[in-house]
Protein backbone atom coordinates (compact mmCIF):
# COMPACT_ATOMS: atom_id res chain seq x y z
CA UNK A 1 0.00 0.00 0.00
CA UNK A 2 1.43 3.35 -1.01
CA UNK A 3 1.78 6.17 1.46
CA UNK A 4 1.80 9.82 0.70
CA UNK A 5 5.57 10.15 1.06
CA UNK A 6 5.29 13.83 0.26
CA UNK A 7 3.14 14.37 3.37
CA UNK A 8 5.58 12.37 5.48
CA UNK A 9 8.53 14.45 4.33
CA UNK A 10 8.18 17.92 2.87
CA UNK A 11 5.81 19.44 5.46
CA UNK A 12 7.75 17.78 8.28
CA UNK A 13 11.10 19.07 7.02
CA UNK A 14 9.62 22.54 6.47
CA UNK A 15 8.27 22.72 10.01
CA UNK A 16 11.56 21.52 11.50
CA UNK A 17 13.58 24.02 9.48
CA UNK A 18 11.26 26.90 10.38
CA UNK A 19 11.52 25.98 14.06
CA UNK A 20 15.30 25.75 13.67
CA UNK A 21 15.31 29.22 12.13
CA UNK A 22 13.37 30.60 15.11
CA UNK A 23 15.83 28.92 17.50
CA UNK A 24 18.74 30.52 15.64
CA UNK A 25 17.06 33.93 15.84
CA UNK A 26 16.89 33.49 19.61
CA UNK A 27 20.55 32.50 19.65
CA UNK A 28 21.58 35.61 17.72
CA UNK A 29 19.46 37.84 19.98
CA UNK A 30 20.96 36.23 23.07
CA UNK A 31 24.51 36.80 21.79
CA UNK A 32 23.72 40.47 21.08
CA UNK A 33 22.01 40.99 24.46
CA UNK A 34 24.84 39.37 26.44
CA UNK A 35 27.69 40.81 24.36
CA UNK A 36 28.84 37.34 23.31
CA UNK A 37 30.76 36.94 20.06
CA UNK A 38 28.22 35.12 17.85
CA UNK A 39 30.98 32.81 16.58
CA UNK A 40 31.24 31.46 20.11
CA UNK A 41 27.73 30.11 19.65
CA UNK A 42 27.89 29.10 16.00
CA UNK A 43 31.12 27.18 16.63
CA UNK A 44 29.91 25.59 19.88
CA UNK A 45 30.21 21.82 20.28
CA UNK A 46 28.73 19.45 22.83
CA UNK A 47 32.05 17.62 22.99
CA UNK A 48 35.34 18.08 21.13
CA UNK A 49 34.83 15.29 18.60
CA UNK A 50 31.30 16.38 17.67
CA UNK A 51 30.51 18.81 14.86
CA UNK A 52 29.70 22.44 15.77
CA UNK A 53 26.37 24.24 15.48
CA UNK A 54 27.13 25.35 11.91
CA UNK A 55 27.54 21.73 10.82
CA UNK A 56 24.35 20.67 12.60
CA UNK A 57 22.41 23.17 10.47
CA UNK A 58 24.23 22.04 7.32
CA UNK A 59 23.51 18.38 8.06
CA UNK A 60 19.82 19.02 8.78
CA UNK A 61 19.62 20.95 5.49
CA UNK A 62 21.47 18.25 3.56
CA UNK A 63 19.28 15.51 4.99
CA UNK A 64 16.05 17.25 4.02
CA UNK A 65 17.09 18.19 0.51
CA UNK A 66 19.00 14.94 -0.07
CA UNK A 67 16.00 12.79 0.77
CA UNK A 68 13.85 14.64 -1.74
CA UNK A 69 16.54 14.55 -4.41
CA UNK A 70 17.04 10.79 -3.99
CA UNK A 71 13.35 9.88 -3.81
CA UNK A 72 12.23 12.23 -6.57
CA UNK A 73 15.19 11.76 -8.89
CA UNK A 74 15.71 15.51 -8.73
CA UNK A 75 18.82 17.46 -9.68
CA UNK A 76 21.31 17.99 -6.85
CA UNK A 77 21.17 21.29 -5.00
CA UNK A 78 24.77 21.93 -3.94
CA UNK A 79 25.46 24.17 -0.98
CA UNK A 80 29.03 25.04 -0.08
CA UNK A 81 29.02 24.40 3.70
CA UNK A 82 30.85 27.66 4.36
CA UNK A 83 28.36 29.17 6.80
CA UNK A 84 29.84 30.78 9.90
CA UNK A 85 27.43 33.45 11.14
CA UNK A 86 23.81 33.31 12.23
CA UNK A 87 22.93 35.23 9.06
CA UNK A 88 24.75 32.63 6.94
CA UNK A 89 22.87 29.82 8.68
CA UNK A 90 19.54 31.59 8.19
CA UNK A 91 20.31 31.96 4.48
CA UNK A 92 21.09 28.23 4.29
CA UNK A 93 17.76 27.40 5.91
CA UNK A 94 15.92 29.80 3.57
CA UNK A 95 17.51 28.17 0.52
CA UNK A 96 16.59 24.72 1.79
CA UNK A 97 13.01 25.80 2.46
CA UNK A 98 12.74 27.31 -1.02
CA UNK A 99 13.99 24.05 -2.54
CA UNK A 100 11.56 21.94 -0.51
CA UNK A 101 8.67 24.20 -1.49
CA UNK A 102 9.59 23.62 -5.15
CA UNK A 103 9.49 19.81 -4.92
CA UNK A 104 6.57 18.51 -7.00
CA UNK A 105 4.32 16.19 -5.02
CA UNK A 106 4.02 13.85 -8.00
CA UNK A 107 7.80 13.22 -7.92
CA UNK A 108 7.54 11.88 -4.34
CA UNK A 109 4.15 10.22 -3.82
CA UNK A 110 3.79 6.60 -4.89
CA UNK A 111 7.54 5.96 -4.85
CA UNK A 112 7.52 3.94 -1.61
CA UNK A 113 9.28 0.95 -3.15
CA UNK A 114 11.67 2.84 -5.42
CA UNK A 115 15.32 2.03 -4.73
CA UNK A 116 17.27 4.81 -3.05
CA UNK A 117 21.04 4.65 -2.73
CA UNK A 118 22.85 6.76 -0.16
CA UNK A 119 26.52 7.14 -1.04
CA UNK A 120 28.81 7.84 1.91
CA UNK A 121 32.53 7.62 2.59
CA UNK A 122 31.75 4.42 4.51
CA UNK A 123 30.07 2.85 1.49
CA UNK A 124 26.75 2.78 -0.27
CA UNK A 125 23.50 2.04 1.56
CA UNK A 126 20.45 0.88 -0.35
CA UNK A 127 16.90 1.48 0.85
CA UNK A 128 13.41 1.70 -0.52
CA UNK A 129 12.16 5.29 -0.50
CA UNK A 130 9.87 4.48 2.42
CA UNK A 131 12.59 2.81 4.50
CA UNK A 132 14.97 5.66 3.67
CA UNK A 133 12.46 8.24 4.94
CA UNK A 134 11.37 6.36 8.04
CA UNK A 135 14.63 4.65 9.00
CA UNK A 136 17.27 7.15 7.99
CA UNK A 137 16.21 10.60 6.79
CA UNK A 138 13.77 11.51 9.55
CA UNK A 139 15.88 10.19 12.45
CA UNK A 140 18.97 11.87 11.01
CA UNK A 141 17.15 15.17 10.44
CA UNK A 142 15.80 15.25 13.99
CA UNK A 143 19.18 14.27 15.43
CA UNK A 144 20.77 17.38 13.93
CA UNK A 145 17.86 19.70 14.77
CA UNK A 146 17.89 18.42 18.36
CA UNK A 147 21.65 18.81 18.60
CA UNK A 148 21.44 22.41 17.35
CA UNK A 149 18.78 23.12 19.98
CA UNK A 150 20.92 21.48 22.68
CA UNK A 151 24.02 23.44 21.72
CA UNK A 152 22.24 26.78 22.06
CA UNK A 153 20.41 25.70 25.22
CA UNK A 154 23.69 24.58 26.78
CA UNK A 155 25.18 27.99 25.95
CA UNK A 156 22.43 29.67 27.96
CA UNK A 157 20.04 30.71 25.21
CA UNK A 158 16.58 30.80 26.83
CA UNK A 159 14.92 28.03 24.84
CA UNK A 160 12.22 25.62 25.88
CA UNK A 161 10.40 22.65 24.50
CA UNK A 162 7.89 24.83 22.66
CA UNK A 163 10.74 26.52 20.79
CA UNK A 164 11.77 23.08 19.54
CA UNK A 165 8.22 22.03 18.72
CA UNK A 166 7.18 25.40 17.28
CA UNK A 167 3.60 26.46 16.86
CA UNK A 168 1.22 23.60 17.34
Q: Answer with the residue of higher pLDDT: 168 or 129.
A: 129
Give the residue among 38, 22, 55 at the shortest CA–CA distance from 144: 55
| pTM listed for this prediction | 0.95
CB 5: neighbour CB atoms within 10 A?
25
Check residue 7 and give its pLDDT: 96
- Percent of the chain at pLDDT above 90? 95
Does 2 have pLDDT greater than 80?
Answer: no
Does 1 have pLDDT greater than 70?
Answer: no
Check residue 164 and give its pLDDT: 95
Check residue 15 and give its pLDDT: 97
* CATH of region 5-161: 1.20.120.450
Helix (H) or strand (E) holding 101: helix 86-102
What value does the mean pLDDT take over residues 42-51? 96
- Specify which residues 118 forms β-bridges with: 125
Check residue 167 and give its pLDDT: 73
Q: Hey, where are the domains in the chain?
A: 5-161
CA angle at 123 for the pair 120 and 125, rounded to the nearest 5°: 85
Does 3 have pLDDT greater than 90?
Answer: no
Amino acid sequence: MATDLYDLTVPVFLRGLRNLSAILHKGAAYAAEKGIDPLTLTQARLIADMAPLTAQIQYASDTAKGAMIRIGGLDPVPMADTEQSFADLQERIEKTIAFLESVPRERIDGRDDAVVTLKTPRGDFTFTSRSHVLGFAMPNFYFHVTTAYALLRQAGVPLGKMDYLGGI
